[in-house]
Amino acid sequence: MRFPASRKIHYDSGPNLTPLVDVVMVILIFLMLVGSFGASEHFLTSNLPIKQAGTGQTHPPAGWVADTALEIRVDPRGAGFEAVAGRIRVNDAVQLENQLRQMLEQFRKAGTPPEKVQVIISPGKVVRYEHLIRVYESALSAGFTKVAFATSH
């Protein structure tokens, strides 16, 4: 006597390998991305010639004087900004320009040429970009030639 169930075909498929293939593909993609980004970080390219011996630390020439630093701190105030430079505390770009002109004149009277004064604009963490540009333009309009930006304070 034969049973009808014995005529059915039985597939012995074994364990399900689909999750294993998925995990291996994710790891493979991750390693490919890390490998391509990590290769460019080993060396910085330079156009300077390679020398076997260095010159060491050089000393500035005799009579060299470092630039005088003038820091302008820019903080947000309501819809505008507040710029603080030494004893100057203003909320307007025009007022800042006038005050910076007076400071530049004081530097000249003290014997410091304008090209030896470096203005450093130090923004607060949430200062709007347009306010920084107004402060930058005010410093340039006042007559300062060296104007730089610092990281936020």
Task: Give per-10-residue mean pLDDT for the chain (153 aa).
Answer: 64 82 94 70 58 65 79 87 86 89 90 87 88 90 89 72
* Rounded distance between C-alpha atoms, residue 42 and residue 39, angstroms: 6
Q: Looking at the domain that runs over 69-149, which CATH code has it been given?
A: 3.30.420.270
Query: What is the Cβ-side half-sphere exposure of residue 35, based on CA atoms within 13 angstroms?
Result: 6
Q: Is the pTM higher than 0.75?
A: no
Per the CB < 8 A criterion, the answer to whether 118 and 148 are in contact is yes
Angle made by CA atoms 82, 99, 72, in degrees to the nearest 5: 45
Give the pLDDT confidence score for residue 20 in this predicted structure.
93
Yes or no: say if 116 and 72 are a contact pair by the CB < 8 Å rule: no
The reported pLDDT for the residue numbered 33 is 82
SS3 127: coil
